[in-house]
């Protein structure tokens, strides 16, 4: 399954846009929201995103000396925790395609006295600028849905992962509870844009973020895409009733 349509367009929220335009449009969204990203994450999820990320860290198996890649690492929540786990002998690379997000993340981590074992790299997930078989663990949290060609990104992750290494995709997904889905839709399309307008002065970007969640592949589809990228033991764990799912896969 590829995101490319026959007429060379792709989804940007509910709109169809030329494939070559999506990256710029997504970039504009994140340039707009970068400085308010952390506070909006807390408000959008009621702070629950911290729990989702903590569970991801706990299941990562990251330990001292590991090399970890945090793709779409944005403001550095996962990177900061990984940095403490890998220690002086390890390395964490925070990669983001968006220089505004990267700058906010760098400033935040420096303010927190983050260790010198972190590198910041502006990179496109579809063509990661790292050697083959390089990282022990790769995470992408709330970033895959913004990538134009998700299949290419998953293949790129598999390439730079060491054999036996783990890819972890934490992403908004599909609930199987009709009442929860209805509540979630009302919140996403009525409350969230208003919140974005009030706090970040930008309703449109938050409307896109809500739409992009609905356009993202469901749990089974994403699992299949990870298998197609060459990963094995692919599985997922639903959190908060399937509002979010953590997918994992291993490089054989």
**Annotated binding residue at 133?**
no
Round to whole Å and give the CA distance between 122 and 209: 21
Q: How far apart are the first and last CA of the chain?
A: 22
Round to whole Å and give the CA distance between 31 and 94: 17
Question: How far are the Cα atoms of 117, 151, 204 from residue 101, in angstroms, in the given order?
Answer: 19, 23, 18
**Annotated binding residue at 34?**
no
**Annotated binding residue at 96?**
yes
**Annotated binding residue at 240?**
no
Task: Cite the annotated binding site by residue number.
Answer: 75, 96, 124-125
Task: Cite the annotated binding site for S-adenosyl-L-methionine by residue number.
Answer: 75, 96, 124-125
């Amino acid at each position: 399954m590829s995101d490319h349509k026959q007429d060379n367009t792709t989804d940007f929220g509910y709109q169809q846009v030329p494939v070559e335009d999506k990256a710029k449009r997504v970039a504009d969204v994140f340039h707009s929201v970068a400085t308010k990203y952390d506070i909006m994450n807390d408000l959008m999820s009621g702070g629950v995103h911290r729990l989702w990320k903590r569970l991801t860290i706990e299941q990562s198996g990251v330990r001292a000396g590991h090399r970890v890649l945090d793709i779409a690492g944005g403001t550095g929540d996962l990177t900061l925790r990984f940095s403490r786990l890998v220690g002086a002998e390890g390395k964490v690379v925070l990669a983001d395609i968006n220089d505004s997000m990267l700058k906010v993340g760098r400033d935040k981590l420096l303010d927190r006295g983050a260790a010198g074992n972190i590198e910041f790299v502006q990179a496109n997930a579809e063509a990661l600028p790292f050697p083959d078989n390089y990282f022990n663990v790769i995470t992408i949290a709330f970033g895959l849905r913004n990538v134009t060609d998700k299949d290419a990104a998953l293949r790129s992750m598999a390439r730079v992962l060491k054999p036996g290494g783990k890819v972890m995709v934490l992403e908004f997904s599909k609930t199987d509870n009709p009442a929860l889905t209805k509540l979630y839709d009302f919140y996403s399309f009525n409350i969230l844009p208003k919140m974005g307008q009030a706090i970040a002065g930008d309703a449109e970007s938050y409307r896109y973020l809500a739409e992009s969640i609905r356009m993202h592949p469901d749990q089974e589809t994403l699992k299949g895409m990870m298998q197609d990228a060459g990963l094995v033991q692919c599985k997922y764990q639903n959190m908060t009733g399937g509002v979010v799912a953590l997918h994992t896969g291993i490089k054989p």
